[in-house]
Amino acid sequence: MLRVLIADDQDLFRAGFGLILGAQPDMLVVGEAADGDEAIALAGRLRPDVVLMDVRMPGRNGIEATREICATTAAKVLVLTMFDLDEYVYDAVRAGASGFLLKDIRRDELAHAVRTVAAGDALLAPAATRRLLEDLVRRPAHGPMPRLAGRLEALTERERETLRLVARGLSNAEIAAVLVVTEHTVKTHVSRILTKLDLRDRVQAAVFAYECGLVVAGESDIGDHTHG
């Protein structure tokens, strides 16, 4: 049974998400929080598997709460936002969030997202995630950082190719098709990438790929890896 904590300052959103997730046979909503401080306290006490975290809340916001929860508990944080290009969401991902969702998500997508994050597969597939990263790395405050490129030397060429495709938002199955390898092989590559780069999950790997310049916003290199 997946234990879920919902953090949002709007009663209607908390109630709506609670009804949807509470109706799932494999989920239990263990608590609701109206601000970041309450979310941190409940996450520490209730030990949920997944926290649905609103970004903009009174007091300590969702970014600060995400950072604290990811640092002190094993919970996965799934950020919720009204905007698909929200700078705060990027900061939340860097704070340790495993992905983000728009609040207009369909109920079946919400349940799937919670299961995906709980399983350790960070939610990176939605095109909005890629748009978010591409938009933000163009801004001076989050521009590519060449000094990070040296860390890529720890990766093999195939691992670099895999990282590029992860950053493009492809699933393991899609990456396997592009690289003409098995899905198990892709999972192995991804695991080694996270270990070598000391990253929490696929979302942080994608952020790293953009920040170090391995992936350039607006370009598509998928077609370059259709062999080997």
- What distance in Å separates the CA atoms of residue 178 and residue 172, rounded to the nearest whole number? 10
Does residue 221 carry a pLDDT above 80?
Answer: no
DSSP string computed for 142-153: G---GGGGGGGG
- Residue 61 sits at the vertex; the CA angle it makes with 59 and 67, to the nearest 5 degrees, is 125
Residue 224 binned pLDDT confidence (cut-offs 50, 70, 90): very low
Residue 123 binned pLDDT confidence (cut-offs 50, 70, 90): low
Burial of 12 (0-12, 13-18, 19+ CB in 10 A): exposed
**Helical H segments across 47-140, by residue range:** 62-72, 87-94, 107-118, 127-137
**C-beta of residue 184 within 8 angstroms of C-beta of residue 106:** no
The fraction of the chain above a pLDDT of 70, given in percent, is 79
Give me the mean pLDDT over the 70-84 stretch.
85
- What distance in Å separates the CA atoms of residue 96 and residue 160, rounded to the nearest whole number? 22
pLDDT at 228: 40
Question: Which tokens go with 49?
Answer: 């598997």
Q: Closest Cα to residue 52, out of 6, 11, 94?
A: 6
Q: Closest Cα to residue 55, out of 121, 19, 18, 10?
A: 10
pTM of the model: 0.71
- What distance in Å separates the CA atoms of residue 196 and residue 47, rounded to the nearest whole number? 28
State pLDDT tens for residues 17-42: 999 999 999 999 999 999 999 999 99
- Average pLDDT of the chain to the nearest whole number: 83
In what order do the strands lie in the sheet containing 2-7?
A: 27-33, 2-7, 50-54, 76-81, 100-102
150 contact partners, CB below 8 Å, separation of at least 6? none
CA 178 to chain centre: 22
